Amino acid sequence: MKSGRKQVKRMTGAMRIIHWANAISMVAAVITGLYIGHPYYQTLIADGAVDKYVMAWNRWGHFIVAIIFDVTSIVVAYLYFFSRFEKPYKKLIPTGKNVAEFGEVLLNLVTLNRRKKFDSTHSDSFNTVYFTIFHVLLVWMLFTGLQLYVHGLESGESSIGAWWPALLHLATDWTIPVTGGTLMDVRISHHETMWLIVTWVAFHIYYQIWRTIFWKEGDIAIVFGGSKFAKEQES
């Protein structure tokens, strides 16, 4: 470690597991989701894709990663308010301190680090708002995705009973009028939101690399080891 710097813990083991579970699931969700919306490959064997259950396997994979998103979203929502490490919701409260910090981090980004007047040893307001937007998009994807899924259970029955489709209808039918009034509107919204998330991920990766280069505090190492090395005078 260089002199004048100290190691600060930024992510717990549970937070890193959630991060990578989300990252891997997202890649799988995009690949399978694009296939479900518009099948873009076939099997290389002579038999047609329909005989290899290619669509069925893609739907199954999509459903599995959606379940992972469900579980991690519930855990993240809990940690938002009750984590013993840090409580992100406190950074969302529009106090003068949080608003000023948000502005300083934004200025730091657009001026290419020529101005840095905030403490980078902890999660700042800008990043917290940014990650909150991501999780809001994920929740919307879950509701619209489950609405599309439950319409595949037209009989009102499922392998685990009628309560499951009934519960899904109760939880997600509101997405139809909100998106425009038809199931196709829900499908289009689900698809377009995916591109918003892909855009979010692209900026997220760019920004983490950007901070690692300009701040020189090893920010990219946070998702691997949980720590970074901040300058002593800024803590």
How far apart CA 63 and CA 225 sit, in angstroms, is: 30
Looking at residue 235, its pLDDT comes to: 44
Alpha helices in the chain (DSSP H): 13-37, 54-82, 89-92, 96-110, 125-150, 163-172, 175-179, 183-215, 222-225
CB-count burial class (<10 Å; 0-12, 13-18, 19+) for 76: buried
Q: Is the pLDDT of residue 47 over 70?
A: no
Tell me what the mean pLDDT of segment 152-179 comes to: 91
How would residue 42 be classed by pLDDT, with cut points 50, 70 and 90?
Answer: confident
Which pLDDT score is estimated for 2? 65
pLDDT digits (tens, 9 = 90+) for 110-150: 999 999 999 888 889 999 999 999 999 999 999 999 999 99
pTM comes to 0.87
Residue 52 scores a pLDDT above 80: no
Select from 125, 142, 123, 126 the least CA-distant residue to 197: 142
For strand 5-9 and strand 227-231, is the pairing parallel, antiparallel, or unpaired?
antiparallel
Percent of the chain with pLDDT over 70: 94
